[in-house]
Amino acid sequence: MSSSSTFKLFLLSFILCILFQEHTHALTKTYIVYLGGHSHGPNPSLDDLDSATNSHYDLLASILGSHEKAKEAVMYSYNKHINGFAALLEDEEASKIEKNSNVVSVFLSKEYKLHTTRSWDFLGLEKDGGISLDSAWWTARFGEDSIIANLDSGVWPEHVSFSGTGYGPVPSKWRGNGVCEIDHFITSSNATTFCNRKLIGARIFSKNYEARYGNLNPANLTARDFIGHGTHTLSTAAGCQEADILEAFDHAINDGVDVISTSLGGSNPYVEALFTDGISIGSFHAVAKNVVVVCSAGNDGPGPRTVTNVAPWSFTVAASTIDREFVSQISIGGKHYIKGASLSKGLPSGPSQKIYPMIHSIDARFLNATIQDARYCKPKTLDPTKVKGKILVCTRLDETTSIAQGFEAALAGAIAIFVINDEKSGSILLAEPHPLPGASMDANQDDDIDQREWFGKGGTDNNGTRRMLAYMSTSTTYTGLKPAPVMAGFSSRGPSAVQPLILKPDITAPGVNILAAYSLGVSPSNLPSDPRRIPYNLQQGTSMACPHVAGIVGLLKTLHPSWSSAAIKSAIMTTATTLDNTNQPIRDAFDKISTPFEYGSGHIQPNLAMDPGLVYDLNTTDYLNFICTSTHNQNLLKFFNKTSFTCPEYYNIEDLNYPSITVYNRGLNTINITRTVTNVGPPSTYVAQVQHPEEVKVNVQPSPLTFTEIGEKKTFQVILEVTGVPPSGFPVFGNLRWTNGNHIVSSPIVIL
């Protein structure tokens, strides 16, 4: 990546830091009481904020018996744009509050987990280290005046990626002036010590954390990143307490940000609901203020219905590869070389020793260690007398990192580690900063590295273990890899477990072997025993893909400041591609053709997104209609709209003006759905083109659509007729494209 784009990728950034720890249990627990929206306007006064907070105390006092007890229990009063509070309550008290007619929902503050370069070249923004004249960087003025809030583990502000050199004044819309909570709560008088014209603010939210685990040392009350995740995701664009996250959302909206990037989510998509989930609630209120919220899809793939952050107002991002790899050549038993992903300098090679003995972790286990634990090189399973001086073969335990396994290998005396992908990882190889020479490998490349069937393979020594020798070269960087992108095995899949009729994820972006800034306050392995400190690191996950999209959203915000968040989302989705760089359908890590359940609308194409031709727009009323149908509760709507709103007698979620189309199979009955497109380009005529799902006939009426001015809207119907039963059953997939010869506006079609 060129230095100019590195500095300008996230032109203006606002860090929101959340602390991490495991759950404990107490008599009182942190509950979030959600009350919908506020009656005050978009720019609340101090009196408005005080009034909102006092109303929260009044409500809680009616249960606890006094204002004093209410004030003591409340840790956060969400008094700006989100209406509600977080408080320490007993279960019985929470149940009583839930019965109040003015309460939308009451739920335990759960723990979110983190969904944890060359990528800009691969996305077409740069070419051969430079910026082409038709790049979206130039078109969108490098995202000038766009403010991106990153909800994560903090920032390492001294990193060159956050230098403010060469930047103009902070945008006047920024309302978080003087807040730079890095190292002992920097005050407004010396906030420029760590914040500048690029890193324009930083806040820490830790009350939920401290309520659970005790007060923090003042030195730790800082938005400085001691985990690494926040610095990494921000420069490209344990567990997080939900009450803290919701407070971060409320502040970000109020501070005047344009984009919120959140690379975290819940661990169980089946219990995620629209208004008992902090990210969904925060996103709803942000989008109502025209702030685009970009969320990671999760790293729980490749199983179906694992995608998180599925609200229709959220922009949900999956992860896929780029066309770069870091490769070591590996020879086993003197056979042909096979490929390993690696960041290592290779093994020592001298005139007397070029190859080393290799041992499988199953063969290297202590006698009291189980085969299953030893297979994954878990702590206290490896016998140093068997491992010392050898290359150790382990099976991947975590789909996004294996560095902890590398440390176990080093502790046992291994000279190197080969990490073999498990069944969930497929063929995608991850380059990782192991503490010893190491490589990630695909078991399908060579039988001798496959631990899945280790009995009776190869020759054995007197101890019954296999005799193998191996060699590993120094890592080399290659670009132009084909095919790319490939969907990552870990990337969470659809359909949504909450509402399958909203296709999720929405889009895919680079999320494998992503190089970006890293915190100097933590090792690349995140292990306390690792003394290494590096300014850049490679990481994997949908949390790496999310900030790529947030950065592109920032460009679109600069180029089209009057567009709604839904229009920006549509521009990115409808210009995405479902083809890889060999012009073939995108495949997954298991060499199967991917579907919209994996990549949504496809792989992001930033340059095309700047000029999409047509967009599918949505507003708050559309989302309220969606809520009507989802909750069947007319009374609920009074909490979200200051004016009266009546749910329509009939509303079909399939008609939500979403850029993708998902419907239920109704047998041989015809399915009619409606969409409306808005022209954002010059006068033109668009013609519909359809890729029919298997055993489904699709008819679009009317077609063509002729537009004479910018902003003109046209409504059309998509008529789907199931003509038979597909050989593999449902779901089946198709595509609708509107084209005028210069633009292609594409929408996936899914029949469930």
Residue 483, preceding bond cis, omega within 30 degrees? yes
CA 314 to mean position of chain CA atoms: 11
Q: Read off the DSSP letter of residue 424.
A: T
Residue 392 in contact with residue 418, Cβ under 8 Å?
Answer: yes
**Residue recorded with tokens 């906030």:** 191
**Residue recorded with tokens 């294996």:** 402
Cα–Cα dist 617/564, whole Å = 7
Cα–Cα dist 5/403, whole Å = 30
> Which member of 38, 115, 229, 434 is catalytic?
229
SS3 assignment, position 151: strand
Active site residue 163: no
Q: Phi first, then psi: give them for residue 598, nearest 5 degrees.
A: -100, -45
Cα–Cα dist 715/655, whole Å = 11
Half-sphere exposure of 463 (CA within 13 A, CB side): 12
Cα–Cα dist 104/119, whole Å = 42
- Of 17, 15, 16, 24, which Cα lies nearest the Cα of 211? 24
SS3 assignment, position 445: helix
> Which member of 492, 543, 570, 660 is catalytic?
543
Q: What distances in angstroms separate CA 345 from CA 41, 403, 565, 672, one per listed residue?
A: 59, 16, 46, 60
Percentages of the chain per state (helix, strand, coil), in multiples of 5: 25, 25, 50
> Which member of 121, 145, 152, 255 is catalytic?
152
650's tokens: 């009939």
Cα–Cα dist 419/336, whole Å = 19
- Of 89, 143, 112, 63, which Cα lies nearest the Cα of 282? 112
Angle formed by the axes of helices 229-236 and 542-559, nearest 10°: 40
Active site residue 229: yes
- Of 489, 122, 491, which Cα lies nearest the Cα of 316? 491
Residue 459, burial from CB neighbour count under 10 angstroms (0-12, 13-18, 19+): exposed
Which amino acid makes up residue 173?
A: K
Q: How far apart are the two ends of the chain, measured CA to CA in Å?
A: 41
- Of 566, 417, 407, 427, which Cα lies nearest the Cα of 486? 427
Residue 715, burial from CB neighbour count under 10 angstroms (0-12, 13-18, 19+): exposed
Its sign, for the CA torsion 293, 15, 404, 219, is: negative
Residues that are catalytic = 152, 229, 543
